[in-house]
Amino acid sequence: MKINKLALLVSIALLAACGGESARRDMAKVEPQTQVAVETPTSQAAVSVPETVVSASAVMAMAAERDTASPEPAEAAPASASASPVPIVSASAPTEIITHAVSSTRPMVITADLTFRTPDVRKTALAIEQLAAKQGGFVVSNQTNTDMVSSQAFEQSDGMLLIIENYVSKTDLLVRVPRQNAQTFLHSLQPHIDLLQAQNFSAEDVGSLLQRQLLAAQREQQRSKDLGHLNQYTRGNQDERRATIEAQYQAKEQEDEARIQQSELQDKIKFATINLHFSQPEQLVKHTKPNPEAAAREHRPSFWQSAKLAMLSSWNAILAIVLFLLNTWFVWAAIVGGIYGIRRYRQRVPTITEFEVQEWTAEDEPKPSRRRNKFKIQRDDE
């Protein structure tokens, strides 16, 4: 037994020595400097079992270093890439807002329309209101709608219903900002945009339209003054003066309308109009509520209670019928009396019995002729 153990230890030591020698040869081919750390005296061939375990782990570590220390294949790819360079094309991100240069000297009406997706419509709407106030603008309207996409209910063991709902929220925001700050305001929206779906930016030159409205207002003003002077110096009849006054009021009304249109156009020039339409991805909401069906099952009466209630309801129905008959006793008494009177009347009227009917039918039958009777008698004699 001792001899077997000794032979086993010697074989293990020889295998460990062979493995260490092969590992030293491999490491010598890759890195000559590692020989100092790996070489061991040949006289230590007969080593103990723990030393064989250490040498095996060292061999594994050196093999891993050999695999990671070969940089030739990794360096080949950059060399080939540098040999044939590929041009890199840069594209604008879908969250970038593109604006155009606008003249600051010409009267222009600036309008913008943006449709984009944002993580949270309520937080984004609040942030946009703050940005508009920071740029000297204001919010004209803010409409937020939440549309339910789907809803599912699941019964729970505790008598509750688990409701899972998917919904989408959308917001329409109308903002007015000063014209000179419109582009700054639009660019400040980019941190709140996940995906820019649509963009429309326009700058309309309204110099000629503004001049036309200004001239129209001046004409109406002059016309109103002339009609006022004419009315002052007119000495005609009352109808002519009334017509002149009405014409003066109409001219004044047209003058006021022209001034209002001019003021509205100047306001559009002064403040840019920006329409924002943004939505958020579908949101999942979970909440619980009492299950009415479970509550009904819990408080539903047993079979015997239901049978008792059915008997009581039947007895109540019988009592209701009796009470109905008692309440209408005079009707039933009249019906019974009428039936009794009709039967008494029929008993007093003479009726035709069966015997009388047979007699009556026998009298009505025709009598046989004498000749036929003679023939019958002769036949009987024969």
Which tens digit of pLDDT belongs to each residue from 177-186? 999 899 899 9
The answer, yes or no, to whether residue 70 has pLDDT greater than 90, is no
Q: Which of 24, 26, 56, 27 is nearest to 40 (CA)?
A: 24
Of 106, 163, 172, 102, nearest in space to 140 by CA: 172
Measured distance CA(273)–CA(132) in Å, rounded:
11
The mean pLDDT of the chain is: 72
Going from the C-alpha of 183 to that of each of 27, 132, 349, the distances in angstroms are 67, 12, 116
By the 8 A CB rule, do 24 and 35 touch? yes
Is residue 100 predicted with pLDDT exceeding 80? no
Q: Return the pLDDT at 46.
A: 39
User: Residue 118: which of 188, 54, 58, 170 has the closest Cα?
Assistant: 170
- What's the mean pLDDT in 85-113? 63
Q: What is the mean pLDDT of residues 283-295?
A: 83
- Give the residue-averaged pLDDT of 263-283: 90
Burial of 302 (0-12, 13-18, 19+ CB in 10 A): exposed
Least confident of 22-26, 60-64, 139-143, 295-299: 60-64
Q: Which two tokens stand for residue 252?
A: 């004044």
pLDDT score recorded for residue 278 = 95
- Which pLDDT band holds residue 7 (cuts at 50, 70, 90)? low
* Confidence label for 223 from pLDDT (cuts 50, 70 and 90): confident
Structure tokens belonging to residue 115: 């449709």
Average pLDDT over residues 305-334: 88
Identify the weakest region by mean pLDDT among 39-43, 107-111, 319-323.
39-43
Asked whether residue 358 carries a pLDDT value surpassing 60, the answer given is no
Q: Which residues contact 65 (CB under 8 A, 6 or more apart)?
A: 31, 34
Task: Mention every residue, 6+ apart, whose C-beta is less than 8 A from residue 227.
Answer: 244, 247, 248, 251
Give the helix ranges, DSSP H, for the chain: 2-30, 35-38, 49-68, 72-83, 121-134, 182-187, 207-233, 238-270, 292-298, 303-327, 329-348, 354-364, 370-381
Q: Residue 129 pLDDT more than 80?
A: yes
Please tell me the pTM assigned to this model: 0.46
Neighbours of 247 (CB within 10 A): 15
Q: Regarding predicted confidence, which is higher, 255 or 103?
A: 255
Could you say which DSSP state residue 97 is in?
Answer: P
**Alpha carbon distance 265, 145 (integer Å):** 32
In this prediction, residues 198-223 reach a mean pLDDT of: 77
Predicted confidence at residue 176, as pLDDT, reads 95
Helix 207-233 vs helix 238-270: crossing angle, to nearest 10: 160
The pLDDT of residue 97: 65
Share of the chain above pLDDT 90, in %: 20
Report the range out of 42-46, 71-75, 337-341, 354-358 with the highest average pLDDT.
337-341
- Residues composing the chain: 382
- The arithmetic mean of pLDDT across residues 120-129, rounded, is 94
Better-predicted residue by pLDDT, 40 or 333: 333
238-269: pLDDT as tens digits? 667 677 777 777 777 777 787 888 788 888 88
Name the one residue in this structure whose structure tokens are 């963009």.
Answer: 199
More confident residue, 295 or 195: 195
Q: What is the pLDDT of residue 64?
A: 46
Residue 86 has pLDDT above 80, yes or no: no
pLDDT at 96 over 50: yes
pLDDT higher than 90, residue 326: no
Question: Confidence band (pLDDT; 50, 70, 90) for 206?
Answer: confident
Tokens 């604008």, located at residue: 92
pLDDT bucket at 134, cuts 50 / 70 / 90: very high
Amino acid found at 27: M
The reported pLDDT for the residue numbered 305 is 81
Q: How far is CA 105 from the centre of its chain?
A: 47
Structure-block tokens of residue 294:
């479970």
